[in-house]
Amino acid sequence: MSGKRSSRGVGAAARTLKLSTGRSLQMGFQTSLDWLRVNKEVIDRLNVFPVPDGDTGTNMVLTMEAALEEVRKVSTDSAADVSRAAARGALMGARGNSGVILSQIIGGMAKGLERLHRFTAHQFAESLLEAYESAYRSVSKPVEGTILTVARHAGHAAVNAGRRGESVEAVLVAAVEAAERSVRDTPNKLAVLREAGVVDAGGQGLYIILDGFLKYLRGEEVPAAAAMERAESMFAAFALEHAGDEQGYCTQFVIQGLDLDVDAMRTYMEATTDSAIVVGGAELARFHVHTERPGDVLNYAGRFGELNRITIDNMQLQQAEHFARVREDGAATPRPAASNVVAVASGSGFRQVLESLGVSVIAGGQTMNPSIGEILSAIDASPGEYVIVLPNNANIVMAARQAAQASSKDVRVLETLTVPHGVAAALAFNPTAGFEDNVEWMLEAISTVTALELTRATRDATVGGIIVKSGEYLGLVNGDLEAAGPEPGPVIAAILGKLDASGVEIVTVYRGDAPDHEEEVVSALRSGLPDAEIEVVHGGQAHYDYVISLE
């Protein structure tokens, strides 16, 4: 990150007018994308966890590319038309948590430029303020020290400059410098960044995007390469937590009315419920909340219009018996191809397992997150009125939720964080049963699975008090780092020593695309789980040597 910038480039008067129309806005987006592409690799290669799945930069690049693709279809020079197209493209092409948040930032910017053919410095500053506010509204429990914090600081700095009557360039300089300071401060706000000694990569990506606009405005060339060595101490993957509180009742419904105040209703729901998502407009709004008192929620919402498509799922209710799992020769019995379940998975073996269960599979996973548009297409292609989505990766959950909100179908996203959790859920799905019964059975099946993952560290680090050396094996349990070491056997032994594995009956070992030490891995599992049935199958997943399911 650089410090103060020189005033070289075009003249002051020309600079004031240069970024004020739709077409110049498009060029600003393009320069930002070019600058983001240069920095993509250094953002991707480091992560709070030293595993090979840091893809924040890639996700932000893909989201920006989708925004520009939509912008190129606009034939006018209207700032409103261009920004609206960018928002639409970013939303449909958003990938991963960082991409979804970025799409909301672009959407807020478009809202700030509504009905404007040209815009002033003050109006542009207000659009950056709206960008941060939209981003915060998209997350029910914002976490400070992430891209959200950086967006807030940039927006406020821009507005302060705009209120002083300064130029577009001065507004951008204020926003960029505030973003730079905010990124540097992220470790002081988020413990996981402070422990790793890095900054937030999503916030760094937003800083790069804003800096790209400034480079366009000043006529500066985009550097051909980023400073890789310097980046190694400054980048980290997006660390926002998105897991909702799975207690009480999952309550969903639609309100149809006139002049609905969606912002006010969202504010109320966020204050009185958990995991609140409220989207829509003046005539139609969709709600998805977790609450202990669904009746109170429905009574509140019923004051504003007609309620329909009401579903209430008791997330605490325990199913009396597991849905029967029929296995033959070690493989699950295939189900009919027509299914209401959509899952994300990488690796030919995992794909084959899920498809044998009748699941529609979207290619994706670590380092390859599918877009909102791709998930939405799979949802719309599914038969029937309801669809269950299994993201199978923490970085895909948010995109899956956005796709669910955009669909006209009744969609439930189950927060499966690994493919073994998704396989367990798919096994519990009964195509002849009702929607709520299936959701209940699948959630219960997910809760019975513990997923172990073995991968290699990409750098030295200390995470959660565990010292990691580059090239060592990392052992993760349900996505959390639990052990590390030079050999896989002791890593597995250390993990099993921490777990209560007394009830484990079935162990499925999914080999990656380049596995090693298979005998050592299986031997360690047999020693730690002597009463369990162990099966080794081909998963074909990249980056992770072994993914192990304990049931």
Question: Diameter of the chain by CA atoms?
Answer: 78
Rounded distance between C-alpha atoms, residue 360 and residue 362, angstroms: 7
DSSP category for residue 368: B
Rounded distance between C-alpha atoms, residue 435 and residue 421, angstroms: 19
* Pair 346, 363: CB distance under 8 Å: yes
Residues 6+ apart with CB under 8 A from 329: none
Considering Cα of 511, then 515, then 521, then 523, what sign does the dihedral take? positive
pLDDT value of position 19: 65
Rounded distance between C-alpha atoms, residue 551 and residue 89, angstroms: 41
Structure tokens at 184: 């540097």
Residue 65 CB: number of other CB atoms within 10 A?
16
pLDDT in tens, 255-294: 888 889 988 898 898 888 876 767 556 776 667 677 878 8
pLDDT value of position 432: 62
DSSP per-residue string spanning 277-290 = EEEE-SSEEEEEEE
Structure tokens at 329: 């020769």
Rounded distance between C-alpha atoms, residue 311 and residue 381, angstroms: 23
Query: Residue 332 in 3-state DSSP?
Result: strand
Rounded distance between C-alpha atoms, residue 140 and residue 342, angstroms: 25
Kind plus residue range of the DSSP H or E element containing 377: helix 372-381
Rounded distance between C-alpha atoms, residue 208 and residue 183, angstroms: 11
pLDDT in tens, 343-362: 998 888 888 888 878 888 99
Mean pLDDT of the chain: 80
* Pair 100, 134: CB distance under 8 Å: no
Kind plus residue range of the DSSP H or E element containing 444: helix 435-447
Kind plus residue range of the DSSP H or E element containing 447: helix 435-447
User: Which residue type does 273 have?
Assistant: T
pLDDT value of position 512: 86
Report, in angstroms and rounded to the nearest whole number, the Rg of the chain calculated over CA atoms.
24
Scanning 121-252, the segments in alpha helix (DSSP H) are: 121-137, 147-163, 168-189, 191-196, 201-218, 228-231
- CA atoms within a 13 Å half-sphere pointing along the CA-CB vector of 142: 18
User: Which residue type does 114 have?
Assistant: E
Residues 6+ apart with CB under 8 A from 338: 358, 383, 431
pLDDT value of position 479: 85
Classify residue 331 as left (phi > 0), alpha (psi -120 to 50) or beta.
beta
Task: Mark the ranges of the chain whose per-residue pLDDT is less than 50.
Answer: 1-17, 46, 52-53, 228-247, 316-339
Residues 6+ apart with CB under 8 A from 350: 419, 423, 510, 539, 540, 541
pTM for the structure as a whole: 0.60
DSSP per-residue string spanning 4-33 = S----SS-HHHHHHHSSBHHHHHHHHHHHH
Q: What domains lie within the chain, and their CATH numbers?
A: 12-231 (1.25.40.340), 249-314 (3.30.70), 327-447 (3.40.50.510), 451-550 (3.30.1180)
* Chain centre to alpha carbon of residue 142: 13
pLDDT value of position 168: 87
* Chain centre to alpha carbon of residue 304: 32
Rounded distance between C-alpha atoms, residue 213 and residue 29, angstroms: 7
Rounded distance between C-alpha atoms, residue 323 and residue 313, angstroms: 18
Query: Residue 252 in 3-state DSSP?
Result: strand
DSSP per-residue string spanning 420-441 = HHHHHHHHH--TTS-HHHHHHH
**What are the b/e assignments for 519-546, b being 16+ CB within 10 Å?**
eebbebbeebbeebeeebbbbbbbbbbb
